[in-house]
Amino acid sequence: MTVSELRECIGGLPRVNLGHLPTPLEHCPRLSEAIGGPKILIKRDDCTGLAFGGNKTRQLEFTIAQGLERGADVLIGGAGSQSNHCRQLSAAAAKLGVDCALAVVKDHKSDTIQGNLLLDDLLGASVEIVDVETQELLDDAKDALMNRLKSEGRNPFTVMQKANRPYGAMGYALCMTEILEQCEALGEKPTTIVLCSGSCTQPGLIFGKKALGVDTRIIGIAPIVWSYDIQEAFIVVLNKMSDVLGVDVEFERSDVENTNAYVGERGYGYYTDEGNAALRLMAQKEGILLETNYTGKALAGLIDLVKKGDIGSDETVVFVHTGGTPALFAYSDELLGNK
């Protein structure tokens, strides 16, 4: 497919307008030099514009549209207490004039209303803190919200659900077209794309790559260790995208390169020394802010892959900044060394 054909194909799906797109693509010469090559370009999806931006904005344009098509007047979500998805969902609901109800995990960052949790409140979402071990166990709480709201005569829609992932990934199939056009305008050919992803973002880029026939490696750095096989889960999303769009694009496990090697021993929601060092490096070399749980760890993974020679010093790498900077303010002690 051509870029215009892929855009036209996805353009037939329900969508709401939320983001400032396309986002910038910038060269990071001082960071590139600091890590000994390769040439690094950063895709600024922290600049999508919705309540401090982030990658979820592209996804929500399609996933929320699924709910609004069904007449939803309340959007339901749920994740960790410092969830970027919940923050952007809250903002999108406010922008679109519908309510938002969230179930978030009672975790080590839920006691103080700070960072994304503060923004959820400012944006008008109702937030229920649920005592479960992981966000994978929030389904019962989201179902309870659904049932209660229905009993009150509302028409709720759960945005954050597995069935919605293929639609969310459409936003990043379109992002792939942006990256390619911007690289071409700069006279660059990306050999590798590195990003933080454990759900919709990487599958969307993979779909765009395969549909367009592009020879670019896509490396996902997972922020969380799921209980399921992430390659298999991504293949399910990718195949459903093909079905929804009615296009003949096939996928196999080798298309999915995703590692959880940089999550850290304590797991999701906890910083790593390497991630914090990486985000400080980006801040002090390029004046760009990452955060502790997603982009900091993803950059740490990129740096490590360069050190190991898995990414060559002569390559051109696009690092996708998936946002999340409001969470920095909930991690001030960790970032200042008061552990």
Tokens (6 digits) for 244:
């929804």
The CATH number fitting domain 56-163, selected from 3.40.50.1100, 3.50.50.60, 3.90.1640.30, 3.30.1360.120: 3.40.50.1100
Condensed to tens digits (0 to 9), the pLDDT of residues 278-306 reads 999 999 999 999 999 999 999 999 999 99
Q: Where are the domains of the chain?
A: 3-54+164-335, 56-163
pLDDT at position 79, please? 92
Residues in Cβ contact with 14 at an 8 Å cutoff, skipping those fewer than 6 apart: 62, 65, 66, 68, 69
R_g over Cα of the chain: 19
User: Going by DSSP bridges, is the β-strand pair 99-105/126-130 parallel, antiparallel, or unpaired?
Assistant: parallel
**Number of Cα atoms under 13 Å in the Cβ half of residue 301:** 28
Q: Which amino acid is at 114?
A: Q
Residues in Cβ contact with 137 at an 8 Å cutoff, skipping those fewer than 6 apart: none
Residues of the chain with pLDDT under 70: 338-339
Q: Which residues carry out catalysis?
A: 83
Overall fold of domain 3-54+164-335: Rossmann fold (3.40.50)
pLDDT at position 23, please? 98
Q: Find out whether the peptide bond into 38 is cis, omega within 30 degrees of 0.
A: yes
pLDDT at position 132, please? 87
- Fold match flag (3-54+164-335 vs 56-163): yes
Cα(108)–Cα(305) distance, integer angstroms: 30
Condensed to tens digits (0 to 9), the pLDDT of residues 111-156 reads 989 999 999 999 999 999 999 888 888 889 999 999 999 999 999 9
pLDDT at position 338, please? 57
Cα(48)–Cα(321) distance, integer angstroms: 11
